[in-house]
Structure 1
Amino acid sequence: MPGQLHYGATAKLLHWVIVALLAVQYPIGWLMPDIHPGQAPGAAMTFHISFGIVILVLIVVRLIWRLTHPVASESSLPPWQRLSSEAVHWMLYVLVLATTVSGWVFASFRGWAVSFFYMMPLPMLASDNAAAGKAIDGLHQAAEWSLLVLICLHVAVALAHLFIYRDHVMQRMLPK
């Protein structure tokens, strides 16, 4: 892939802001109480959906940035590592998109009136449909667990490059 050899400041900023937001998003999602039919979503759900929308916007911006500002694969890596790295990064994009969009669609199918950080109402992407909501919730949960597993794999490999291989691959995404 043609392009520069290192990630620029914008790519790094988007990457690390998304990492930070996901680090906030997962605990909110796991710790918030279940919302039963007829019950209005509370603060935890409002923040969970709001952070999800921010993550969705940022991942779309990050994806566009990556497509318009390509970075060459690390030439010191064996071909199988370059290929698997590229595949994992694209899967991360797909899973972040799938997780955020499925969460928004799930909230829509539940018929919830949700606001963006209590400042403005969010448009719903579908109408109230309990059966569809249940199916989408299953997809949302599968996407979030798949994303978490892939994130853990990504972090483990990054740490291996940093501490075991010591090949400076990780430095491409670290702040200077």
Structure 2
Amino acid sequence: MKSSATRYGSIAQFLHWCTAIVVLVTFIYGPGGPEQRVYSSVHEFDRRLHETLGLCVFALTLIRLLWRVYDTRPETPPVSRWMAVMAVAARWMLYLLLLALPLTAIFGAWLEGHPLTLIGGRDIPPLLSTSHGAGSVIASLHTWLGDAIMWVAGFHAFAAIFHHVLLKDDVLIAMLPRWFPSGRARTGR
């Protein structure tokens, strides 16, 4: 369950891939657009699913950060300094976005006077007094951050594939479950 010197453990892998899938589905079901469109009855299901999954992303991220404190990380292969710096920057940018996206959604909705609308008909009413202008700015920031996380995650995925295909190291394999075919036989792992 814990990470070894060469691979992430099953818990870290589960949290990583679960977060990636939930973020992608959340992005796809984001109703997007102006406030009237987002809160129209036509987009009720998409908005409820998007907001519910957004809270799941927030919870998964908190769990991942707590697990990171407890778990060890596999050793990173030797790479050039710029690659190491980019890897750390991308990782922490992803964590920052994974926290900022749900928070900007929550505060943007509440400041605009909207409840959080969750699957199952659950609503969480605004816990802040309305400031529509501030809420609108934060909601716009949420949209920009949503696009940014897709770009950073795409870069992250590209880098993992680059390591696997061109550098032929174990960066990608370290995060894949043992049952997943990696394309290369590994011994002693």
The TM-score bracket by the shorter chain reads 0.7 to 0.9
Answer whether contact 1:105 1:125 (CA < 8 A) is retained: no
> Structure 2: any 5+ residue segments left out of the alignment?
179-189
My pick for the range that moved more, 10-19 or 111-120, is 111-120
What is the aligned partner in structure 2 of residue 133 from structure 1? 135
Q: How many residues align?
A: 173
> What is the CA-CA distance between 1:7 and the residue it aligns to?
1.2
What is the aligned partner in structure 1 of residue 44 from structure 2? 42
SS at match of 1:156: helix
Map 1:7-156 onto structure 2 (within 5 A). Answer: 7-29=8-30, 31=31, 34-36=34-36, 42-118=44-120, 120-122=122-124, 124-156=126-158
> What is the CA-CA distance between 1:61 and the residue it aligns to?
0.6
Q: C-alpha separation between the residues in 1 aligned to 2:74 and 2:177?
A: 18
**Alpha-carbon RMSD:** 2.3
Instruction: Encode CA deviations 1:71-130: one digit per residue, 9 max, x unaligned.
Output: 144133233322321221111000111111101111112222334312533353423221
Answer whether contact 1:12 1:174 (CA < 8 A) is retained: yes
Larger radius of gyration: 2
> Structure 1: any 5+ residue segments left out of the alignment?
none
SS at match of 1:87: helix
Q: Scaled by the length of structure 1, what TM-score is found?
A: 0.86
Q: C-alpha separation between the residues in 1 aligned to 2:161 and 2:77?
A: 19
Q: Is the counterpart of residue 162 in structure 1 residue 174 in structure 2?
A: no
Instruction: Encode CA deviations 1:127-161: one digit per residue, 9 max, x unaligned.
Output: 32210111101211221122111111111111111
Structure 1 counterpart of 2:99, one-letter code: L
Q: Identical aligned pairs, as a percentage?
A: 24
